[in-house]
Amino acid sequence: MPVIAPMPAARPARIPGQRDGVEETVAAGTTVDHLTETYRAHYRSLLGLAALLLDDTASCEDVVQEAFIRVHSARKRVRDPEKTLAYLRQTVVNLSRSALRRRILGLKLLSKPMPDMASAEEGAYDQLERDSLIKAMKGLQRRQREVLVLRYFADMTEAQVAETLGISLGSVKAYGSRGIAALRVAMEART
């Protein structure tokens, strides 16, 4: 990306339409000299404007330099030299918005970290535990098994289990505690 130098060249730049020291009428628009003067006078204020919109110095400098490059390229369209600074300010704001949009899009597109996953060994161990639990559950009495499945796997309250099975609340508590005790014994025996 070309950089606009803050100091003019050693010899004055040749303006199109100028021949052998005789100055002809230049087409309407901002001249290179006027743009250079605007750069000297307002570079820091434009940098401050960009700093209010962006967070790092390098991006601010890039935005301001790009704004000057764009104004330089379109200087014939800025008919009133008094509006050059306003055009530059608007360009800095627009370029800052674009930079922020690119950053936000970049953050959205970054790959999301993988969730903490169990290793293959842990997965195999969990599967063995599930298999052991299922075998132990099959060894329980029918009512104990029904109460435990509805209470802990279907996530029902004791009252809901009692209503579903058509038994009293006390029976649900008794079957549940006896079933857990039997499961504990069965699971310890398998290990």
The three-point CA angle 24-29-34 to 5° equals: 85
* For residues 159-180, average pLDDT: 93
Global pTM?
0.45
Largest distance between two CA atoms of the chain:
112
Integer angstrom CA distances of residue 98 from 4, 11, 125: 21, 37, 51
- The Cβ of residue 173 has, within 10 Å, a number of other Cβ atoms equal to 15
pLDDT of residue 9: 40
Q: CA-CA distance, 180 to 82, in Å (whole number)? A: 86
For residue range 107-148, list pLDDT tens digits in order. 877 766 666 776 777 778 888 888 888 888 888 999 999 999
Give the CA distances from residue 56 to residues 62, 112, 154, 179, in Å, rounded to whole numbers and listed in that order.
10, 25, 54, 64
Of 40, 32, 51, 31, give the one whose Cα is nearest residue 92: 51
Q: Which residue has the higher pLDDT, 189 or 191?
A: 189
CA distances from 9 to 12, 16, 63 (A): 6, 16, 23
Q: Please provide the DSSP assignment of 14-80 as one string.
A: PPTTEETTEEPPPPSS--HHHHHHHHHHHHHHHHHHHHHH-S-HHHHHHHHHHHHHHHHHTTTT--S
Three-class DSSP category at 167? coil
Average pLDDT, the chain: 81
Q: pLDDT, tens digit, for every residue of 15-43?
A: 444 455 444 344 455 678 888 898 899 99
Q: Which two tokens stand for residue 171?
A: 């029976």
Rounded to an integer, the average pLDDT of 87-93 is 92
Q: How confident is the model at residue 10 (pLDDT cuts 50, 70, 90)?
A: very low
Q: Where are the beta strands (DSSP E) in 56-140?
A: none
